[in-house]
Amino acid sequence: MRLLLFAQCLVLLSHFANANTEIVNFSVQLEDNLAVPGVWPSLHYGHSEEQWTGQPAPLQLTEQHICKPAHLFSPLGMIPGRTSCSHEIWTMLDLDQETWRNFSKFTLRISYPASSPTEFSIKIFSPSELHNEISTPSSMYNSTLKIPGSPSMTRRKYARIRLSHTGVSIGSPQPPPVTFNVILEPLYFQVLPASVIPILSFLVPLVVIGIVSTFPINRFFRGLAESARSESRAGCLKYQ
């Protein structure tokens, strides 16, 4: 009975597994609120999911050679989250809102079609780490620059998403673009994504009911077993 119930749960969960997924978990702490120039798409409470389309890098490129250090700042503006490299997308993770302040650990998840032979690389940066990562003129990008009128400390992070092709391109050396969803979630108890809570709230009572319902059946079969053992012992004593 328990195996049957477990199988039913797996069938139920299989409906949610219609895509490939890449996940990165990261911790959050207060850090210097350094200014980062540029136009950034933002994921935050109330807008924690976004859909983008990216161009995977050719198969022969390794992850570290997909893009050169990015120049994110442009006085003429730019496509949000894009750099001069078409194989990566950047987004700001706004974790300073009051609703998420009690969470110290988050997860960033990418879901994409299982039919797309694409590998995603996700890296999380603090403002200071991002200052060390990208290449811009020092006059535009000063590591001591603070945001005027903003708190001196922040929990804000930045995510770099890189795409690389893992299949064999037929007829064209350029892999096709891939559309993917990016979801930012807090982790309850530092391990459970927020989106899993409703599923667990449904499955846990179901499993408990299934286990409890097997108790009478177990008692019935235990009684049969005890009766069989007693009759066997009685039979043995009779023929001794």
Residue 10 lies in a domain: no
Per the structure, the complete domain to which residue 146 belongs is given by 20-190
| DSSP-assigned letter for residue 50 | E
Question: What backbone torsions phi and psi does residue 44 show, to the nearest 5 degrees?
Answer: -160, 175
Residue 226 lies in a domain: no
Calpha distance 184→100 (Å, rounded): 11
Residue 181 lies in a domain: yes
For residue 5, the Cα-to-chain-centroid distance in whole angstroms is 28
pLDDT tens figures, 47-102: 999 999 999 988 777 766 777 765 554 433 344 455 667 888 889 999 998 999 99
Residue 233 lies in a domain: no
Q: Strands 192-193, 157-165: parallel, antiparallel or unpaired by DSSP?
A: unpaired
Residue 101 lies in a domain: yes
Residue 205 lies in a domain: no
Residue 81 lies in a domain: yes
* Whether 121 contacts 84, CB under 8 Å: no
pTM to 2 decimal places? 0.69
Neighbours of 7 (CB within 10 A): 10
Query: Mean per-residue pLDDT for 197-211?
Result: 56
Calpha distance 154→67 (Å, rounded): 28
pLDDT tens figures, 137-175: 444 445 455 666 678 899 999 999 999 988 776 666 678
Q: Which residue has the tokens 């795409």?
A: 163
| Dihedral, CA of residue 93, residue 98, residue 103 and residue 105, to nearest 10 | 10
Residue 119 lies in a domain: yes
* Total domain count, the chain: 1
pLDDT tens figures, 213-222: 665 666 666 6
Please tell me whether residue 122 adopts helix, strand or coil conformation: strand
